[in-house]
Structure 1
Amino acid sequence: MNGIMKQLIIIATLIFSVGNAHAQGLGGYMLDTVYMLPEARVTEKFKNDTDRYHYNQTKYYVTTILPYLDAATKLFREIDKKVNEPGISKRERKAYVNAREDEMRREFEDRVKQLNVTQGTLLVKLVTRQTELNIYKMLQEFKNPLTAVKWQAWARFNGLNLDKKYDPNEENMLELIMEDLGYPLPVGYRAAVYANGAR
């Protein structure tokens, strides 16, 4: 009999004896206990050290841009609510958008300029994720088509498409990071993700 088999027999004997002692302590009644565990998602995060490094680097970048993501998402929701108020004129709408843009620029411009291209790309993807829209359509709606075209040209030069909706099925690592940081997938994406069987 090999060593592994002996260890298994010893472990089984210990479990059996503890179970019997427990049953005898309960007046000879053998009780079965059923534990209901919460649903758990089992994922293999890292296949190798390179994957682990890439994950940790991306998570660091994401935590760096979270204040800007939160501010941008909040700003979008406030602007969207304001411009959809009944009776607001185009002039009032434009003035409000410009005033909020200037406010954000004063608060964040210097810090945002220090982000590298990867962090900027992640910020764009995550703003798209959180608002469930694409940046190009936001620029067209809240600014003007010419501004949208200008920023789309810059984005394409840097390997990004502002006129693309966020796809959680293509961003598995980013989704793991966001969920680990307490940012669950917005409701609008969930049906498509579950339909694809990705989660």
Structure 2
Amino acid sequence: IARSQSLNVDQQTTSVNPLANLDINVDPKPFFVNANVTIDQHIQAQTTNLPRYLAALFTLDENSVDIGQKAKACALAAAWCRHDHKLANNLLRCRRLFTLTEVLKAVTMLDAARQIRVYEKQLKRLELSKTKPKATKLGKIKNNLDNLNKLKPSTGSASGAVARHIQRWTRTLTLQELEYFALHMPTEPWKKLADIV
């Protein structure tokens, strides 16, 4: 058991270290194939060398390399965080890469700071209440807080401008795309998107 734990620790340190030295100018591929890359690293990469970042994204897609859903959502959210709405609109035009799922995930990342405040307020209210809250309820709220803290970008939020861009994008969806999303996706993502936008 001790040997397997030491192997796990070694694997964790080797998988964490490459993320610390991510550089868009050296190797852009990890930004799109590694699920552990944060939105802040995507923002930094877009700020440092946007042409190389976009070239890598579209080259990987053209060569049928599986780009993670989180990476696509981070790319879109990073553009909105940088207030590069022209880039975000151009990314949204790539219907094969950016669907409702990626848009929802990107908006969720941008809305994380607001959601954190909501959960913190709820947690404080529960802790101050006279009746002791259930441990499972507190655990669930703390778990949601941890998850949202991982998603939250250091800059940017789901502003009114972002909401208007998403509303414009939803108007460009064809009838077939809307039918596909309506039939193949649960109603929850639509409700989340409508709530944020």
TM-score by length of 2: 0.29
Larger Cα Rg: Structure 1 or Structure 2? 1
TM-score, normalised to structure 1, is 0.28
**Larger relative contact order (C-alpha < 8 A, sep ≥ 6)?**
2
